[in-house]
Amino acid sequence: MESARHDLILMVRLQEIYNRITDALKERGSPPPEVLELQEQGRRRQEELENLEQQVLQHHEELREVRRKENEFQLELEHFQRQKSTVNNEREFIAVLSEIDYATKGRDEAVGRRRELEQLIDQLSSEISSRKQTRPEEEATQHDVSSGWETRKSGLKDVVHQAAIQAHELELQLQPNHRARFLRLLHSKRGVAVAAVVDGSCSLCHFALRPHLQQRVRRGQEIIVCEHCHRVLYLPEALQEEPE
């Protein structure tokens, strides 16, 4: 009976250690909100910057095409202006004037669009430059927060490592059959092999224990499992006496 009580106390201790391991791993895998927010802000800023730079590239491509058209219309305009002085009749004169009007309109539209694009490129380039100037300060803030989180993650890793060593040492002290049962339950019950009895029921599955089982759990002299979830049961106040 004493060996069973000893192992029961060790199982409760082991469960507490595995709970710490679970909590540490969960926290390590879940960055705090401020880290997530900074990461999201950084992602959005980078995405916005890349979008602005892409717009500038597209405007430059269009600007090259507009300048080409402007030059073509200017050459056509100069050509027909020269030709105007060589016409021989009214019909040819009207035709040349029509070509001059067409070339003038095309050139003026190209000039207007060129100026609009040049203004857009200047505005976007200024915005990009401003964003890049503030970026080092933003990255420094993000670095400080991220460094703090990395330090915390490293500390949590040490917690898991030390707890795993403690757990292994305690597991070796369990009787082989009790150790096998505990580890099997730990695996099959999602990391929780032991449950306290609260108000006569299993605290995890809330199954009410029969009176005689409650008495046996209260004595704490044997390994009793829940009839519903099969976890090892214990009554905290019944295990006050520590094993040697």
Question: Does one domain contain both 17 and 51?
Answer: no
pLDDT at residue 1 in the model: 58
- Taking only the tens place, the pLDDT of each residue in 98-125 is 999 999 999 999 999 999 999 999 999 9
Question: Does one domain contain both 42 and 123?
Answer: yes
β-strand pairing of 232-234 with 201-202: unpaired
Question: Does one domain contain both 38 and 113?
Answer: yes
Distance CA 201, CA 228 (A): 11
pLDDT at residue 137 in the model: 80
Sign of the torsion angle spanned by Cα atoms 103, 109, 111, 114: negative
- Taking only the tens place, the pLDDT of each residue in 171-180 is 999 999 999 9
3-state SS, residue 233: strand
Q: Is 29:149 a contact under the CB 8 Å cutoff?
A: no
Question: Does one domain contain both 64 and 12?
Answer: no
Domain presence at residue 155: no
CATH number of the domain bearing residue 79? 1.20.120
Domain presence at residue 166: no
Domain presence at residue 167: no
Kindly report the pTM of this predicted structure.
Answer: 0.66
- Those residues whose C-beta lies under 8 Å from the C-beta of residue 150, and which sit 6 or more positions away, are none
Angle at CA of residue 189, ends 185 and 195, nearest 5°: 80
CATH number of the domain bearing residue 224? 1.10.287.1490
Question: Does one domain contain both 187 and 202?
Answer: yes
Question: Does one domain contain both 7 and 38?
Answer: no
The count of structural domains within the chain is: 2
pLDDT at residue 241 in the model: 54
Region of 225 (left: φ > 0; alpha: ψ -120 to 50; beta: rest) is beta
Question: Does one domain contain both 35 and 110?
Answer: yes
pLDDT at residue 244 in the model: 41
Domain presence at residue 156: no
Domain presence at residue 162: no
Grouped pLDDT means (10 residues each) for the chain, 244 residues: 87 96 94 88 91 96 96 94 87 92 96 96 95 83 86 94 96 95 95 96 96 92 95 90 47
3-state SS, residue 5: helix
Question: Does one domain contain both 72 and 125?
Answer: yes
Q: Is 76:108 a contact under the CB 8 Å cutoff?
A: no
- The domain boundary, picked from 95, 119, 150, lies at 150
Q: Range of 117's domain?
A: 31-150
Length reported for the chain: 244
- The domain boundary, picked from 87, 117, 150, lies at 150
